[in-house]
């Protein structure tokens, strides 16, 4: 199966999971990226079951609305039974690197509210040690160089993310992203706490303190369901 086919497989599996486990009339948290898009497309068939969704990005909001799914502001919602999103990497504990699409801050906010975090990914995203995929850090622009020095001090190589036109990539929050190469992250929770404490960091793309509860992993033999210990 191609990677796109695997994404569609786990997107459908996530829609099936939500339909089986989330009560009618609920609001669903939805992530950002190509795998999350497959989930949105699959969920559209049963959209009548739900009041709507909370979105983690401008792009996801647009896709939900294209399917006629109502999008709520998180401030309007009292509870979120589930959050479904992809990952750039996920380890055996359910810790993830996310933010390849640039939506890490809003993704982390929505995930923090959800009762259950369902990660949907293809088997290539499962790793023993996080860090092969560059670690995104969303930063206030004036702090970019200072944070870059801190990254270098812990052995990372910071690279400013740029848009197609060569200018700095700007997030939905009006901030910039440093992609950090060269890290082997043996203590994701610890590193998440350290980087989040640096002045000028909006958030780091480590989802370890609040990792996945469940992973629907697309493999050549079908979708594996992996459950992680509660954090």
C-beta of residue 29 within 8 angstroms of C-beta of residue 61: no
Determine whether the annotation assigns residue 7 to a binding site: no
Q: Give Cα 66 to chain centroid, integer Å.
A: 21
Tell me, what's the pLDDT at 72?
98
The per-residue pLDDT for range 170-198, each reduced to its tens digit, is 999 999 999 999 999 999 999 999 999 99
- Residue ranges of domains in the chain, CATH in brackets: 3-126+209-227 (3.40.50.1360), 135-205 (3.30.70.260)
For 91-117, what is the mean pLDDT?
97
For 123-151, what is the mean pLDDT?
98
Structure tokens at 230: 């509660």
Integer Cα distance of 138 and 200 in angstroms: 9
Which is nearest to 102 in space by CA: 40, 71, 62, 56?
Answer: 56
Q: Which helix (H) or strand (E) holds 11?
A: helix 3-21
Which is nearest to 53 in space by CA: 35, 31, 37, 34?
Answer: 31
Given a cut of 70, whether residue 71 has pLDDT beyond it is yes
Tell me, what's the pLDDT at 229?
85
Determine whether the annotation assigns residue 108 to a binding site: no
Catalytic one of 5, 24, 78, 107: 107
**Of all residues in the chain, what percent carry a pLDDT higher than 70?**
99
Given a cut of 90, whether residue 67 has pLDDT beyond it is yes
Determine whether the annotation assigns residue 16 to a binding site: no
Determine whether the annotation assigns residue 57 to a binding site: no
The per-residue pLDDT for range 19-52, each reduced to its tens digit, is 999 999 999 999 999 999 999 999 999 999 999 9
Determine whether the annotation assigns residue 86 to a binding site: yes
Q: What is the DSSP letter of 64?
A: H
Determine whether the annotation assigns residue 70 to a binding site: no
Residue with token string 């801190």: 150
For 72-87, what is the mean pLDDT?
96
Asked about 24 being catalytic, the answer comes back as no
């Amino acid at each position: 199966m191609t990677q796109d086919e695997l994404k569609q497989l786990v997107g459908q599996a996530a829609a099936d999971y939500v339909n089986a486990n989330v009560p009618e009339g609920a609001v669903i948290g939805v992530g950002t990226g190509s795998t999350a898009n497959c989930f949105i497309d699959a969920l559209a068939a049963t959209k009548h079951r739900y009041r709507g969704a909370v979105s983690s990005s401008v792009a996801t909001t647009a896709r939900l609305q294209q399917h006629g799914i109502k999008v709520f502001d998180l401030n309007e919602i009292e509870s979120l039974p589930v959050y479904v999103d992809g990952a750039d990497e996920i380890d055996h504990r359910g810790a993830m690197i996310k933010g390849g699409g640039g939506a890490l801050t809003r993704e982390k906010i929505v995930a923090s509210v959800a009762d259950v975090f369902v990660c949907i990914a293809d088997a290539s995203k499962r790793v023993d040690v996080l860090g092969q995929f560059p670690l995104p850090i969303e930063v206030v622009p004036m702090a970019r160089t200072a944070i870059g020095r801190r990254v270098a001090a812990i052995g990372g190589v910071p690279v400013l993310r740029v848009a197609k036109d060569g200018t700095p990539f700007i997030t939905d929050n009006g901030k910039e992203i440093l992609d950090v190469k060269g890290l082997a992250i043996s203590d994701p929770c610890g590193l998440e706490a350290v980087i989040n404490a640096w002045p000028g960091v909006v958030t780091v793309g480590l989802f370890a303190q609040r990792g996945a509860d469940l992973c629907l992993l697309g493999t050549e033999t079908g979708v594996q369901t992996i459950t992680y210990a509660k954090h």
